[in-house]
A = this chain, B = another copy of it.
Amino acid sequence: MAGSRGVEDVVEVVVPRLQDAVAVEVRNLAQVLASRADEVRAKAVADHEASLARERKQAMDERAEAIAAAATAARERAALGVVSRLLDAVRRLDDEATLSGVLDALADLAAAEAGRAALFVAADGGLQGRRLVGFVAGAGGAARVLAAEDAGVAGQAIDRRRTAWVKRGAHAGAQDRPPAFATLPADRTGVAVPVLIGGEPLVVLYADEGTEDNRSDSARWIAAIELLARHAGSRLEALAAERAAAFARAGR
């Protein structure tokens, strides 16, 4: 049909058509390759997510195991440590052969648990200071003799024959306060524990966390101090009875 035309004419017709055809093919190829790139990326993302999920799951499992193991180890160490410490304290009280030795040891041991401690002997309706540990130097004079109205929780512990806590606020009475000589910040715990000797509250141990760093274990040290005060009480009773028996034998 086009036999009469020149080559240039033919080329002008054929080349654009071929170009068009090739352009279509190239676009198709580009689409195929682009969609292949999308697949590659999607697969990489999916692999990434799957690998992350596996890793997260494994990390969470290992973490739960590590936490459980750490908690168990901490629990056993802490339990052993606390019992050993209390046993050492009881042994120390048992090693004291005199009433005053037991009283002084009790004050020292209580201060080691709580932070500060003061030991009083009930006398003449008030309290006589016997040993102060951890208080500022000035407190000693004020604690030498505590009138009933200055005794705070220490007086309450004697009157009620049981552990008394420092309380604050509008409803707190005079016997809920720390003893007058003790300066105790409002967020610190203080308690008084009676030392019962033959059932009588002849001695009272006051202990508090003092003014130093905050503590989170007040329930623990309060329980430890009550335990030590109870043991000291029966030690004092046994020693007093021994002394009375020796006195009776000597007087016979």
Contacts and interface: CB of A to CB of B under 8 A. Distances in A.
Interface of A: 1-3, 5-7, 10-11, 14-15, 18, 22, 25-26, 29-30, 33-34, 36-37, 40-41, 44-45, 47-48, 51-52, 55-56, 59, 63, 66-67, 70-84, 86-87, 90-91, 94, 198, 216-217, 219-220, 223-224, 226-227, 230-231, 234-235, 237-238, 241-242, 244-245, 248
A7 B9 CA distance: 10
A43 B91 CA distance: 69
By Cβ-Cβ distance, the 9 closest A-B pairs, closest first, are A241-B241, A44-B44, A71-B74, A237-B238, A37-B37, A33-B33, A48-B48, A75-B78, A234-B234
Dominant secondary structure at the A interface: helix
A48 B40 CA distance: 14
Contacts of A87: 223-224, 226-227, 230
Contact of A220 (B37, B76, B91): B76
Copy number in this complex?
Answer: 2
Contacts of A3: 6-7
21 contacts: A18-B22, A22-B22, A26-B29, A29-B30, A33-B37, A41-B41, A48-B48, A51-B52, A70-B70, A70-B74, A74-B74, A83-B220, A83-B227, A86-B223, A87-B224, A90-B227, A91-B230, A234-B235, A234-B237, A237-B238, A244-B245
